[in-house]
């Protein structure tokens, strides 16, 4: 919990492990120059429905619902709009997911 709250600097050994064994491989070339602003502009009602379905299948396990907490105590309750550690804008969320940022 201390590492989750304070980051890898809270545990020097964890910091060294993270540097040596990065959890995320290099991004493929096509992901390096994504047009995030264009992706956001293209969102519509169908996008929201697809996102809701994905959340219900995948994200809800860790992040929970308004009524029930998720399985990970460090995961913010997204449906309650809790603060995101790395930022809540779409680009920061994408980076958190693709880079497994903690």
Kindly report the number of other CB atoms within 10 A of residue 90's CB atom.
Answer: 13
Residue 58's SS3 state is helix
Query: Whole-prediction pTM value?
Result: 0.56
Q: Give the model confidence (pLDDT) of 14-28 as tens digits.
A: 544 444 445 555 667
Question: To 5 degrees, how large is the angle CA 43–CA 48–CA 52?
Answer: 150
Report how far residue 43's alpha carbon sits from residue 91's, in angstroms, rounded to the nearest whole number.
14
Query: C-alpha 85: how far from its chain's center?
Result: 9
**Residue 95 near residue 88, CB atoms below 8 Å:** no
Report how far residue 102's alpha carbon sits from residue 96's, in angstroms, rounded to the nearest whole number.
8
Q: Give the model confidence (pLDDT) of 44-85 as tens digits.
A: 999 989 989 998 998 899 888 888 888 888 888 776 667 788
CA dihedral 60, 64, 70, 74 (to 10 degrees): 100
């Amino acid at each position: 919990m201390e590492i989750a709250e304070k980051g890898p600097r809270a545990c020097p050994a964890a910091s060294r492990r993270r540097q040596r064994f990065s959890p995320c491989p290099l991004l493929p070339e096509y992901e390096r120059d994504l047009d995030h602003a264009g992706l956001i502009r293209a969102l519509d009602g169908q996008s929201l429905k697809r996102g809701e379905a994905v959340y219900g299948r995948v994200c809800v396990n860790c992040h929970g619902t308004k009524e029930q907490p998720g399985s990970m105590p460090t995961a913010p309750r997204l449906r309650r709009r809790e603060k995101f550690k790395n930022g809540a804008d779409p680009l920061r969320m994408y980076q958190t997911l693709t880079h497994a940022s903690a």
